[in-house]
Structure formats: structure tokens, C-alpha cells
Amino acid sequence: MAGLSVNVDHIATLRQARGVNYPDPVAAAVLAELAGADGIVVHLREDRRHIQDRDVHILKQTVQSKLILEMAATDEMLRIAMEVEPNLVTLVPEKRAELTTEGGLDVISHATHLAQAIDRLHDRNIPVSLFVDPDPAQIEQARHIQADVIEIHTGAFCDAIEAAEKDAAFSKIILAAKTAYQLNLGVNAGHGLCYHSIKRFKGLKEIDEFSIGHSIVSRAALVGMKRAVSDMLKLIRDL
Ligand code: PXP
């Protein structure tokens, strides 16, 4: 059975929208774990648009399952990762102007740089995952530079509208998962997965864990709406 790591970035997005101290991604992480999450994921971006350094440090002390830190392979982020020592670092490409991580790493073109980052993290006994598009050549290169895990970018599959395009994107995910599994890499998958698209993964046993954020935080906002409004109404009626 595959696991689920919950990405709480967008709880921090809501907080940052107002520049206040709530909702706290640390509180969301506790609730996600109480609901059975196998891990908590945060992406500390260079521009700190959602998760802040303080979140990562507190999560390291409070997460009971495992803390996965997504980050770019920059000196600044490597320094933070080595300080925090999360249970897994997922290296991702990062562009300032993007809304969210757009594509997987080009492990082939950036092999030397990524290999150095992996070595530095391994020196601290931190396992490393590389976020890659479902491309066997990228996955073989990830193995070659000693990555421990790959995370397959599921965005193209989730975004595809036409059935044929969706089927083709899913076939690539199957091939990527099987390739990584045969290479003894851990296999995670994520980006854009929602309550519909996840169903397609039934029986794909090579995937160890899904990393899901936006759809879960979105559903939390809606399933919690009735309770939140009635809590406020009670207070107003008591005025
Ligand atoms: N995996 C990676 C590497 C990501 O960058 C993201 C987005 O932060 C996710 C998984 C989760 O994607 P989503 O928020 O669309 O579920």
C-alpha cells in the first residue's frame, strides 16, 4: 500500500496573504499526522512566498512521522537542510516567476551540480530524492549520481484534458515507476494529484508514496466551511 505525505505549503500561502501568524502550517501538520499522514512536506522557496525558515525549524521538532524538505540545490538551501536535517530532501528546479514547480529537474544536463549537492547531503546522512519528469533517461541518471529516491512529476498527466493525452501521460508514469523500481530507487509521485486523478494509480505497486498538497488544502477549506461559519455565528448571536 502506498503512503501519503501531505504538503502544507498552501496553509502558509493563506497566512502569508495577510501577513499574520495563522493559519500555521505547523498546526496543519499535526492535524495531517493525526489523520494518518505518513509524512509532512514543505517547500522552502528562495523567495519565501509561503513556507518560512521558522516553519521548517519548528516542524523538525514537532513532526512525528517524517519531514520532507523540498528545495532548490542552492548553497543557501543546502546550508539550511544540513542545519535542519530533515528525513528526506527533495531537490526541485525553481523559477522565481512560476506559480508552482513547473517541470522536473534536468538531471542529465545538471549532473555535476546535483551530484555535488547529493554528496553534501549524504555527508550528513540525509537521503535525497530528485523530482523528475517521467523519463527513463533522467531516472537512470538520477541513479547514476546516487539519488536514493525519485519523485515522478505527475503534472502532465493531471493537466491533460483529452483522453488520449491523459493515457499517454499515464503510460509514461508507469514506465518511469517501473524503471526506478528496477534500479532500486525509492519511488514517490506528485504534483497536481487530486481526488479524481489519484484513482488511476490503483495497482501501480512500484510507487511508495504520493506527495499531495493543493487538493487536500483546498478540500480542507471547503469541508471545514460549515463548521467555521457556524462557530462565528454562535459568537455573533451571543453578542
Ligand atoms: N511534489 C513536488 C516536488 C512539488 O513541488 C509539489 C508542489 O509543491 C507537490 C509534490 C505537491 O503538488 P500539489 O500541491 O499540486 O499536490
pTM above 0.85, yes or no: yes
Q: Please provide the DSSP assignment of the chain as one string.
A: --EEEEE-HHHHHHHHHHTSS-S-HHHHHHHHHHTT-SEEEEE--TT-SS--HHHHHHHHHH-SS-EEEEE-S-HHHHHHHHHH--SEEEE----TT-SS--S---TTTTHHHHHHHHHHHHHTT--EEEEE-S-HHHHHHHHHTT-SEEEEE-HHHHH--SHHHHHHHHHHHHHHHHHHHHTT-EEEEESS--TTGGGGGTT-TT--EEEE-HHHHHHHHHHTHHHHHHHHHHHHHT-
**Domain tally for the chain?**
1
- Residues flanking ligand 1, CB < 6 Å: 7, 9, 43, 70, 90, 92, 100-101, 131, 151, 190-193, 211-215
pLDDT at 7: 98
- Span 102-111, mean pLDDT? 93
- Domain of 224 in residue numbering reads as 3-237
pLDDT over 80 (residue 173) = yes
How far does residue 232's CA lie from ligand 1's centre (Å)? 32
pLDDT at 10: 98
Q: What is the CATH number of the domain that holds 170?
A: 3.20.20.70
Q: pLDDT band for position 193 (50/70/90)?
A: very high
